[in-house]
Structures are given as structure tokens and as C-alpha cells.
Structure 1
Amino acid sequence: MNDIGMLSVSELVAGFRRLALSPVEVMCAVLDQVTRIDPRVNCLCGIDEEGALTAAREAEDRWARRSPCGVLDGVPVSVKDLVAVRGMPTRYGSFTASADAEDFDAPAVAHLRQAGAILFGKTTTSEFGNKIVTDSPLSGVTRNPWDTRRSPGGSSGGSAVAVALGMGPLSLATDGGGSIRIPACWSGVVGFKPSFGLVPEGPASSFAALSTLGPIARCVEDAALMVGVMAGPTDADRFAGVDGGRDYRIGLAESIAGLRIAFSPQPAGVRVDPSIAACVGKATWLLEVLGAHVEEVKVRPLAGYVESRMHSIQWAVLFAQRVRAMNIVQRTQLDPDLRELAAAGERVSTAAFVDALAARHTLAQEMAGFFEEYDLLATPVFHVGPPEVPGLPEALLMAPPLTSWCNQTGQPAASVPCGLTHEGLPVGLQIIGARGADALVLRAARAYEAARGPFPAPPLVRDLAESAKPQGDAS
């Protein structure tokens, strides 16, 4: 494999600035990686090769004239196929969606394009982002880069796999209950769900009540850069305390000494696999070594979260609303899991839905109080490892208990790789802050990442590197 594919954004831009790297060279390396490895993992469902190479040549010309158009000029970026990109269709992983190319960019995509990003492809998703694995009737099954027998998680699994395997350093994903953090965790990359309202959503949608856009990257610095580029005024004033339009790399390397970090090894009473718990426990110990005051706590507002089903109820009702607008033929084309989810939503009473909204309001208030006592909360991202493909085990057909509550409260949360299980699969440390404390979450994630040291590449990357060596080369 060409090492260019695994360079960070800062390394790429530094190379462009010195004219030691060319955006065309980088884009060709990414496209070559797609050709070589995507058939094994199925993480991309659309590529605009001609448009990408044209944009790369234009970026190359700007760098040659020492006049880049923005902080991402010439950097390849993929976009989850729930988000509109001009010139490409938005298929949502569904046969029911139009195959016509979009004539507009979603606001976050427009911000990326203005910063010079090359938007080269769309990444796979479960149908309309309905579940935490990435398979759909339209795109098929996406596979984990560490073990192709398993899922990378979802619904942003395509984005996580693309980034993990060097198909661009950044991907724009969405998170409606953990859909950025879970695949980032299971694929060994960084995922960041911003505070609600920080990154503009685009056209009005009921799903904006639970979902937001955010970056998946291979390092925290790149995620911080990307979220700052995407943030904008469109929706930023919808929630108090959200600070849009800033460079989140500023202050990123500052010390975390003195921060009050609560550590909940089993939030919401969920039993965490011992191998995962060990990795996360070691990570929180490292935060303490860095000078933070870490205290193991029970997060009382989450005590009844799983039993309340507040997220599951709202999620099912939103999908019932979506499916209700479809005709009979379209409904027969849907993923059976989605049909079942929508049917469950139709059975939710008005009283139950209102109760779920009231519980959400109470949780948000109680967690705001929690974060008056603590600066950050550290937890596992997920309580078990990734399931085998295809499908989703019945035990996991529920709102992800360790991540979805952050969507109820609108708080920022990051997933950072923190080790490998006994099966050699990645584990994620989740760092959560008060609403609007995005910079603090990113700073703590960066501090941990720096202290942890380099994280290994997935086996598929190592296999490609070995196969690329000339025969007889023992180096």
C-alpha cells in the first residue's frame, strides 16, 4: 500500500505547502486504495473519480501559486450517503430513494468544499441510518477492517472503514444514537459527535431532533480541524452555549491537569465485557497520570435510562413517520429490520411518546447538573465487540445504551481508540462533556491520544503493505 493513504491532514497540507506532495498524487493514491481494497470491505457506494481528479488538479495549481483556497485544499474527504453532495445522488442505502444527482450541497458539505476539500465519494450506511451495523438492501454488507467476518458498526460504518483503510483521512458522518462513535470504536479510528446545533443539518427533518453531523478521522487533530470547518451559523443559535465558527485546533494541545473527570465503567447498569472494561480502565488511569482528577462514579441520571426506552420510542416513531409516506411497492423494498422498526413506531401511543419527550427533558436537566460537578465523563463506547455479518443480533436491537443518551441531551462525545480486546479488535474510550464543551472534549481526547502513542493499523492495511514489497525484500 502507498503510505500516502495513511497520512494525516496536517501531514498532507505540509507536503502540499512544500510542494513535496501533489493533491493529484494523493487523490490517485486514494482512488488506487479504493480499487484495491474496497471490494473486500464494501465501504463506498459511489465515486466521482472524474470530478475528484479535476478538483485535485485545480488544488495542485493553487498550491503551486502559493494561494490555497482553505485549510483543506486538496484533501480527499468522503461523505456518508445520508448527506447531500452536489453532483452525486443521495441513496440512503435504499432502493426507495432517487438515483438522480443532487443539485446542491448540504451546508456542512458546502463548508468543506469552500475550504478546498475534494469530495470524492459516498460511504455506505444502513438503510436511512436505521441501525448500528452497516448493511442495506441497496449497498449490501460493509465489513470490519480488523476482521472481515464482523461488522464495523453503523450506521456510519462505511465512513469509519474508509478512514481506517486509507481511503481519505476524513469522512463526514452522522450520529443519531451512536452512529459515529460505535463504528469509530469498532474500526479503530476517532469519531466525534458535536454538540447539537454546532454543525448545520441542512433541510428541516424530524431526525434532527436526535441526529447530528460530525467527523470521523484517524487522529483527534484532524477531527478538530474538520468540525471547525463544518461548523457554521445556520443552526448554531438553536441551542444555547454552542460556539460555532472557530478553529478547534487552538488550545488542543493544552494540559488536562486539574480537570475533574468522572469515570463510569458500567453506565446505565450495563454489563461491559471484561476485555473492553480492562482497556477503558487503563485509559482512564492514563488520564489520571496526565494530571486529571479521575473519580469512579455512578451516573445517577442514567440509572433508569435503558428501562425508560426514551430513545427507542422516539427513534421508532421517527421511522414510522418516514415509512408512512411511502407507497406499498416502496415498503416491500425496505430492509425487514426497518419495516419492523417502523411498525413498532406505529404502535407507540401518544401518551408514551409524550412521556419519552418528558423523560428526555428531565435527563438533559439532570445531566446539566452532573456537569456542574464534573468537567468530563469517561465511559466505554460499547459494552461488547462487533457482531458477525450479516444482520444484527436480537440482543443488540435496542438503543445503544452507552451512546444514545448523549443524543437525548445534545452533548458532545468522542470515541478514541484505547486498546485491543483478547480477540485483537479495537476498543473505544468515550469522552463526554457538557453541551457546548466541544473544545474541552477534543482537548482531553487529544491528550489521551498523545499519551497512548501510535495506534496500530488494521490487518488489511498491514497485509497490503506486505504484499506490496518486492519478492525477496526482507526489510
Structure 2
Amino acid sequence: MNEIVMLSAAQLVAGFRQRTLSPVEVMCAVLDRITKLDPVVNAFCALDEEGAMSAAGEAERRWMRDEPCGPLDGVPVSVKDLVAVAGLPTRQGSRTASPDRESADAPAVARLRRAGAIPFGKTTTSEFGNKIVTDCPLTGATRNPWDTRLSPGGSSGGSAVAVALGMGPLSLATDGGGSIRIPACWSGVVGFKPTFALVPAGSAASWTALSTLGPITRTVRDAALMLDAMTCANSDWLPGTGRPSGYSSGLDDGVAGLRIAWRAAPDGVSVAPDIAERVGRAVDTFGMLGATVIQTDVAPMVDYYGDGRIHSVQWSVFFAQRVRHMEAADRTLLDPDLTALADVGARIDTATFVDALLARHALGVSMETFFEHYDLLVTPTFHCGPPPVPGLPGHLRNAPLLTAWCNQAGVPAISVPCGFAGDVPTGLQIIGRRGSDALVLRAARAYELARGDFPAPQGDLPLPGDTEIAP
């Protein structure tokens, strides 16, 4: 697909540099795309069209002078509605949140803006990011771009859907247990959860002590470009050279010589056969690219599943703390799923919570030992396909088994599309030790190059008549 809206951020910047594209042209195309498709999928909850077009005009004038302000100058970026963007409200999917506009950007948004990116809108989320589907009383349900009867996953579903459908090439999201990787998996895009705290979150976006900010994009290179902008000083970028820096450097160095551990289905996880087949085929690619692939048990993960309450205890307690100071009238406005989660957390005693924190520490230490023997670990991103809209089935209410442990261990993990399970994409998850973000991105890029371009969903999806989008 050669439409402007389906170009990557790297391709847009190249077009701006060559003056074959303009930031104004691109922003107009993105906003037009949102007008056409968002009524079907409900990926956005707020837009700043006037501010976006003004910023695009400024970027265009800089490019005309050959004076871009940064490596992403003029590139549109959406932001999950858990993260502050100046001039837009941060509602967090909640009817209890203030509708007032933010006076300042969150740190990661400010860094993207300094790199020239244009934050133009907020994407939908479950309330406070509480679950792995994207629906809430404030904004209703967000739909999968491949089949609108299904969920795209969550809680960063709006970001994944926006990127998949060409409603902006980049989105900044959050991941507290899989909230970047799961919707990326089910929407057919790239979702990267960096090492914990690598991307500055600010106090509001990191209140769970598990969530990490990261990119959702259509290509691994774009994810690296976003990470560069959010973690590297402006002095690392040399205007006019096109020279990659930070996480973009060495991205195409391949995986030859790497030791890659492969675990198809850890104990306690039943992976759907078609997903296992697609992921297994993707893993074979690494061997063909020169890596040594070893199928092995992962003892720390076995221990994690043996005590499956590590994540759920912390998650529920954090949400109990989030709502405990609310007035009774505000609590009646909450998503019933969130209320139930908070009620569970309120009944957990201090000793149980501390035990979960100690288990979290032990898991992190064990994974450090594991990665002394292997460079990377690969697994499926999720064990099954997405549920129907709306709601979250009971069998998916526990902590996501293949993703949440990465948040507990603080390690970087990326989901890359590796085919289809039925009519919906599925993903390969690549995991590294803490601080090995560049290596994880490099491996994902090697697989992406070998796989070839991943198809985009059609832009003419009908709205099914089963449920209304509005709450």
C-alpha cells in the first residue's frame, strides 16, 4: 500500500528531506484518515487538529530551510490517554478524571516534541489501563482493525489500532503487564516494552510501579527512532547527516552468533496450535540467519507460574490504592471490572503484598542468571486470539501469562507480527536481559527483514451491528 498514511516515520523524514513530501500534506492525510475510520474503530478520544496543523506548518518551513529541529521533525505521533499532552485533557478512560486541558507535556512527550514529532491526539485505553481489552464507561469499546467484532487488546488498544490503520505512524503507549505487546500482537504492528524506567514516565504515568512507556509502530526501525528521541540527548543527533544514533545504530547488524532460547509453551500455558505453528516458523528464521536456537525450559518462568499471584497481587493492590480516596459518588462511575479488581486488592494483607514484592525481586535475579547463558529468549506474545467486543472473558482476567512476567523482571520485550491465526495477526515476543534494549530491537529487525513487509488491514471495515461504540 503506497498511501502517504501507510509510510513509516523513517520514510516520511526521508521524503521531507528530499522535499517529495511535506509535513502539512502528511498531517492532513492522517487527520482525513481519522475522520474516515475512527467512527468504525474508536481509537481516538481527543484531537488537537488546529495545533497539529500549526506545528506541521512550522516543521514544513524548517525543512524548506534545511533546518529540521530534530530527527522526527514533522512526524505525527499519537499518545495513549494515560500520558499528559499539553493542550489536551488526560481522562485516562475514566468519568472520574478532570476534563481540564494539561498545561505541560509528560517527560517522554516533551522529548518527542523536542525531536520534532507532532503530538496530535490521545488514544483510547481501558480505565486507568486496568485490563487487556480497550473498553471503558467513558469512551466505550475500541475494535480490532482486522475484524471489528473483536477486541484489539489493551490497554493500549487505541494506539495499536491507530498505527495499524495509518492514523499516524507512531504512538506512545504504556505497558504494565502486556498493554503494549498484546494489542500490537492482535493488531499486526510492532510494540516494544523497554527496560523498566528507561523511558521517563513522570509521576502520573508510573503509579503502578510496573508500567513502562514505549512505542507502538509499524516497523522496528520506527520503534528505535522513537526510543532514540525519548532517551537520547539532542546532541546525539547530527542535523542533515541522516546518521542513526542511540538505538538506531547497529539495528541492521543481524543475529549471527547469538544464543537464542526458545520456549514454545511454558508449564501452565496452553498455546493455540495455529499460534504455536506461526511462532515456531518465525523462530526457525533465526537459525537460518546464523543464530543458535536452543529449545529449553526457563526455570524462572516456571517458578513464576508456580506462584501466579506475583503479578495479580501487586496489580490489584495498586488499583485499590488508586481508588480508595475517591468519593462514593465517583466510585459508582467506575468500570465494574476496575471496581472488582480494586475490591480484591483491598482485601490483600500487607504480608501477602510483601511476599509478592519479594517474589518479584527473586524473579529478576533469576532472569539475570538465565541471561548469562543466553542472549535472548523468544516466546509467543499471547497464547490465544482476541475476544469479542465488548467485555473480557473470565479465562483472560488473570495476569497475561506470557507478558506480565517481563514487567515483574523489568526486562525489555518486543512483539513483532509473525503471521495470522485465523483472520487476526499473532506475534513473536523477543525478550532480553535488563538494559539489552538495543539487542532486542536488532533481533526484531533481523526477523522483520527476513519476513518481509507485513500486510496492512483494509481501510473499509464496516461497523458491525452487535453493539454500540458509545458507552
Q: Does 1:293 align with 2:282?
A: no
What is the distance in 2 between the residues matched to 1:251 and 1:208? 33
**Deviation at residue 459 of structure 1 after TM alignment:** 3.0
The equivalences for 1:156-171 within 5 A come to 156-171=156-171
State the match for 1:424 in structure 2. Answer: 423
Q: Secondary structure of 2:329's match?
A: helix
Tell whether the 8 Å contact from 2:266 to 2:301 is kept in structure 1 after alignment.
Answer: yes
The equivalences for 1:22-421 within 5 A come to 22-203=22-203, 207-231=207-231, 247-308=246-307, 309-421=309-421
What is the distance in 2 between the residues matched to 1:45 and 1:433? 34
The one-letter code matched in structure 1 to 2:294 is E
Q: Secondary structure of 1:304's match?
A: helix
What is the distance in 1 between the residues matched to 2:319 and 2:326? 11
Identity %: 67
Q: Could you say if the C-alpha distance between residues 286 and 2 of structure 1 is closer, same or farther in structure 2, counting changes exceeding 3 Å?
A: closer
What is the distance in 1 between the residues matched to 2:441 and 2:399? 25
State the match for 1:241 in structure 2. Answer: none
What is the distance in 1 between the residues matched to 2:88 and 2:140? 19
What is the distance in 2 between the residues matched to 1:141 and 1:424? 20
The one-letter code matched in structure 1 to 2:224 is A
**Deviation at residue 204 of structure 1 after TM alignment:** 6.2
What is the distance in 2 between the residues matched to 1:461 and 1:441? 34
Q: Secondary structure of 2:260's match?
A: strand
What is the distance in 2 between the residues matched to 1:138 and 1:462? 24
Q: Could you say if the C-alpha distance between residues 44 and 206 of structure 1 is closer, same or farther in structure 2, counting changes exceeding 3 Å?
A: closer
Which 4+ stretches in 1 moved above 4 angstroms?
A: none
Q: Secondary structure of 1:287's match?
A: helix
What is the distance in 1 between the residues matched to 2:2 and 2:10? 18
What is the distance in 1 between the residues matched to 2:149 and 2:284? 32
The one-letter code matched in structure 2 to 1:460 is G
The one-letter code matched in structure 1 to 2:113 is R
**CA deviation profile, 1:348-380 (whole Å, cap 9, x unmatched):** 111111110111111111111000000000000
Q: Could you say if the C-alpha distance between residues 56 and 103 of structure 1 is closer, same or farther in structure 2, counting changes exceeding 3 Å?
A: same
**Deviation at residue 247 of structure 1 after TM alignment:** 1.9
Tell whether the 8 Å contact from 1:256 to 1:290 is kept in structure 2 after alignment.
Answer: yes
Q: Which moved further from structure 2: 373-382 or 259-268?
A: 259-268
Tell whether the 8 Å contact from 2:82 to 2:205 is kept in structure 1 after alignment.
Answer: no
What is the distance in 1 between the residues matched to 2:460 and 2:17? 27
The one-letter code matched in structure 2 to 1:455 is F
Q: What is the RMSD of the two structures over their aligned residues, measured on CA atoms? A: 1.5
Tell whether the 8 Å contact from 2:83 to 2:205 is kept in structure 1 after alignment.
Answer: no
State the match for 2:236 in structure 1. Answer: none
**Deviation at residue 334 of structure 1 after TM alignment:** 0.2
Q: Could you say if the C-alpha distance between residues 331 and 307 of structure 1 is closer, same or farther in structure 2, counting changes exceeding 3 Å?
A: farther
What is the distance in 2 between the residues matched to 1:118 and 1:367? 38
What is the distance in 1 between the residues matched to 2:379 and 2:2? 36
The one-letter code matched in structure 1 to 2:286 is L
Paired residue total: 451
Tell whether the 8 Å contact from 1:201 to 1:208 is kept in structure 2 after alignment.
Answer: no
Q: Secondary structure of 2:284's match?
A: helix
What is the distance in 1 between the residues matched to 2:175 and 2:305? 19
Q: Which moved further from structure 2: 450-459 or 385-394?
A: 450-459
Q: Which runs of 5+ in 2 are unaligned?
A: 234-243, 463-471
Q: Which runs of 5+ in 1 are unaligned?
A: 234-244, 464-475
